Amino acid sequence: MVAIVAVWGFRRATPVPTWQVARKFGPLPHVQPANSRLLAKDGNVHLYIDTDAFEPDVVDICVTIDGTPVLSDAFKYDLHNRMFHYCVRLAPGKHRLLAVSERGQAQTEEIIEVTDKLYVSISYTYYAPSWYHAEVPPFFNIHSEPTPWVPDSSFVEPP
Protein backbone atom coordinates (compact mmCIF):
# COMPACT_ATOMS: atom_id res chain seq x y z
CA MET A 1 0.00 0.00 0.00
CA VAL A 2 2.90 2.35 0.65
CA ALA A 3 4.13 1.85 -2.92
CA ILE A 4 0.69 2.74 -4.31
CA VAL A 5 0.54 5.96 -2.30
CA ALA A 6 4.04 6.92 -3.43
CA VAL A 7 3.16 6.41 -7.11
CA TRP A 8 -0.28 7.95 -6.74
CA GLY A 9 1.09 11.00 -4.90
CA PHE A 10 3.82 11.62 -7.51
CA ARG A 11 3.07 14.52 -9.84
CA ARG A 12 5.14 15.27 -12.85
CA ALA A 13 5.06 18.75 -14.40
CA THR A 14 3.66 18.30 -17.88
CA PRO A 15 4.30 21.28 -20.15
CA VAL A 16 1.31 22.51 -22.10
CA PRO A 17 1.86 21.96 -25.84
CA THR A 18 2.55 25.26 -27.57
CA TRP A 19 -0.39 24.72 -29.91
CA GLN A 20 -2.74 24.95 -26.91
CA VAL A 21 -1.45 28.36 -25.76
CA ALA A 22 -3.49 30.99 -27.59
CA ARG A 23 -3.40 34.77 -27.57
CA LYS A 24 -5.70 36.45 -25.05
CA PHE A 25 -8.19 38.95 -26.45
CA GLY A 26 -9.79 41.53 -24.19
CA PRO A 27 -13.44 42.51 -24.19
CA LEU A 28 -14.96 44.28 -27.15
CA PRO A 29 -14.46 48.02 -26.67
CA HIS A 30 -17.31 50.48 -27.03
CA VAL A 31 -17.71 51.15 -30.75
CA GLN A 32 -18.97 54.60 -31.69
CA PRO A 33 -20.28 54.45 -35.29
CA ALA A 34 -18.66 57.05 -37.51
CA ASN A 35 -21.00 59.44 -39.30
CA SER A 36 -18.55 60.08 -42.08
CA ARG A 37 -18.90 62.80 -44.66
CA LEU A 38 -16.97 60.48 -47.00
CA LEU A 39 -19.68 57.79 -47.13
CA ALA A 40 -21.84 58.18 -50.24
CA LYS A 41 -24.13 55.71 -51.99
CA ASP A 42 -22.72 56.86 -55.35
CA GLY A 43 -19.11 56.76 -54.10
CA ASN A 44 -16.26 55.91 -56.43
CA VAL A 45 -14.38 53.79 -53.87
CA HIS A 46 -15.97 50.54 -52.75
CA LEU A 47 -14.80 49.22 -49.37
CA TYR A 48 -15.41 45.57 -48.46
CA ILE A 49 -14.85 44.72 -44.79
CA ASP A 50 -14.77 41.28 -43.21
CA THR A 51 -13.17 39.18 -40.51
CA ASP A 52 -11.57 35.90 -41.42
CA ALA A 53 -10.84 34.72 -37.88
CA PHE A 54 -12.66 32.27 -35.61
CA GLU A 55 -11.32 34.17 -32.63
CA PRO A 56 -11.99 36.66 -31.45
CA ASP A 57 -15.48 35.98 -32.77
CA VAL A 58 -16.26 39.72 -32.88
CA VAL A 59 -13.70 42.44 -33.63
CA ASP A 60 -13.93 46.18 -33.70
CA ILE A 61 -12.67 47.68 -36.96
CA CYS A 62 -12.11 51.38 -37.46
CA VAL A 63 -11.11 52.69 -40.89
CA THR A 64 -9.86 56.21 -41.55
CA ILE A 65 -8.81 57.76 -44.83
CA ASP A 66 -6.46 60.74 -44.70
CA GLY A 67 -7.22 61.03 -40.98
CA THR A 68 -11.01 61.24 -41.50
CA PRO A 69 -13.02 58.42 -39.87
CA VAL A 70 -14.91 56.44 -42.52
CA LEU A 71 -16.38 53.60 -40.49
CA SER A 72 -16.22 52.16 -37.03
CA ASP A 73 -18.17 49.03 -36.21
CA ALA A 74 -18.08 45.56 -34.65
CA PHE A 75 -17.77 42.72 -37.14
CA LYS A 76 -18.63 39.11 -36.34
CA TYR A 77 -16.96 36.17 -38.03
CA ASP A 78 -19.30 34.73 -40.67
CA LEU A 79 -18.79 31.15 -41.77
CA HIS A 80 -20.05 32.14 -45.22
CA ASN A 81 -17.33 34.83 -45.31
CA ARG A 82 -19.73 37.59 -46.31
CA MET A 83 -18.22 41.05 -46.54
CA PHE A 84 -19.84 44.36 -45.65
CA HIS A 85 -19.93 46.86 -48.51
CA TYR A 86 -19.45 50.61 -48.08
CA CYS A 87 -19.15 53.31 -50.75
CA VAL A 88 -16.86 56.29 -50.24
CA ARG A 89 -16.45 59.44 -52.33
CA LEU A 90 -12.75 60.32 -52.76
CA ALA A 91 -10.98 62.77 -55.05
CA PRO A 92 -8.46 61.32 -57.52
CA GLY A 93 -4.97 60.92 -56.11
CA LYS A 94 -3.16 59.09 -53.31
CA HIS A 95 -4.88 58.58 -49.98
CA ARG A 96 -3.67 57.10 -46.67
CA LEU A 97 -5.95 54.29 -45.46
CA LEU A 98 -5.60 53.19 -41.84
CA ALA A 99 -7.37 50.11 -40.39
CA VAL A 100 -7.26 49.48 -36.64
CA SER A 101 -8.75 46.87 -34.31
CA GLU A 102 -8.22 47.41 -30.59
CA ARG A 103 -9.64 44.04 -29.51
CA GLY A 104 -8.16 42.26 -32.49
CA GLN A 105 -4.69 43.69 -31.73
CA ALA A 106 -3.99 44.69 -35.33
CA GLN A 107 -3.27 47.84 -37.27
CA THR A 108 -2.13 48.56 -40.80
CA GLU A 109 -1.66 51.54 -43.03
CA GLU A 110 -1.71 51.53 -46.81
CA ILE A 111 -1.53 54.15 -49.53
CA ILE A 112 -4.29 53.70 -52.10
CA GLU A 113 -4.40 55.53 -55.40
CA VAL A 114 -7.75 56.58 -56.80
CA THR A 115 -8.02 57.37 -60.50
CA ASP A 116 -11.68 56.66 -61.19
CA LYS A 117 -13.28 53.73 -59.39
CA LEU A 118 -11.42 51.63 -56.85
CA TYR A 119 -12.40 48.39 -55.10
CA VAL A 120 -10.71 47.80 -51.74
CA SER A 121 -11.07 44.85 -49.38
CA ILE A 122 -9.95 44.98 -45.77
CA SER A 123 -9.91 41.62 -44.04
CA TYR A 124 -8.99 40.98 -40.40
CA THR A 125 -7.13 37.68 -40.01
CA TYR A 126 -5.79 35.71 -37.05
CA TYR A 127 -4.81 32.04 -36.82
CA ALA A 128 -4.59 30.58 -33.33
CA PRO A 129 -1.87 28.00 -32.80
CA SER A 130 -2.91 24.46 -33.55
CA TRP A 131 -1.30 21.07 -33.83
CA TYR A 132 -0.53 21.71 -37.52
CA HIS A 133 0.73 25.32 -37.49
CA ALA A 134 2.14 27.98 -35.18
CA GLU A 135 0.22 31.10 -34.27
CA VAL A 136 -0.11 33.68 -37.02
CA PRO A 137 -0.39 37.04 -35.23
CA PRO A 138 -3.42 39.22 -36.04
CA PHE A 139 -3.14 41.34 -39.17
CA PHE A 140 -5.19 43.14 -41.79
CA ASN A 141 -4.96 42.07 -45.39
CA ILE A 142 -5.73 44.94 -47.77
CA HIS A 143 -6.27 44.40 -51.47
CA SER A 144 -7.24 47.04 -54.02
CA GLU A 145 -7.74 47.15 -57.76
CA PRO A 146 -9.60 49.32 -60.26
CA THR A 147 -11.99 46.62 -61.46
CA PRO A 148 -14.74 44.90 -59.45
CA TRP A 149 -13.69 41.46 -58.29
CA VAL A 150 -16.07 40.68 -55.40
CA PRO A 151 -19.21 38.85 -56.62
CA ASP A 152 -22.51 40.45 -55.58
CA SER A 153 -23.42 37.31 -53.61
CA SER A 154 -20.36 37.74 -51.39
CA PHE A 155 -21.30 40.94 -49.62
CA VAL A 156 -24.12 42.58 -47.73
CA GLU A 157 -24.94 46.23 -47.29
CA PRO A 158 -24.39 47.44 -43.71
CA PRO A 159 -27.54 48.06 -41.66
Q: Alpha-carbon distance 106 to 75, whole Å?
A: 14
Taking only the tens place, the pLDDT of each residue in 87-121 is 999 999 999 999 999 999 999 999 999 999 999 99
pLDDT of residue 157 exceeding 70, the answer is no
The pTM of the full predicted model, rounded to 2 decimals, is 0.81
What angle (nearest 5°) sits at the alpha carbon of residue 155, between those of residues 36 and 85? 10
Residue whose C-alpha is closest to residue 38's, from 83, 68, 77:
68
pLDDT of residue 134 exceeding 70, the answer is yes
Domain 29-149: which topology?
A: Immunoglobulin-like (2.60.40)
The SS3 assignment for 18 reads helix
Q: Percentage of the chain with pLDDT > 70?
A: 80
- Each domain of the chain, given as residue ranges in start order, spans 29-149
67 φ/ψ sector (left φ>0, alpha ψ -120 to 50, else beta): left
Q: Alpha-carbon distance 133 to 128, whole Å?
A: 9
* Cis peptide upstream of residue 56 (ω within 30 degrees of 0): yes
Taking only the tens place, the pLDDT of each residue in 26-50 is 999 999 888 899 999 999 999 999 9
Q: What is the pLDDT of residue 7?
A: 46
What angle (nearest 5°) sits at the alpha carbon of residue 66, between those of residues 63 and 68? 60
Q: What is the pLDDT of residue 4?
A: 46
Give the pLDDT band of residue 55 (cuts 50, 70, 90): confident
Q: Alpha-carbon distance 89 to 29, whole Å?
A: 28
Q: What is the pLDDT of residue 139?
A: 95
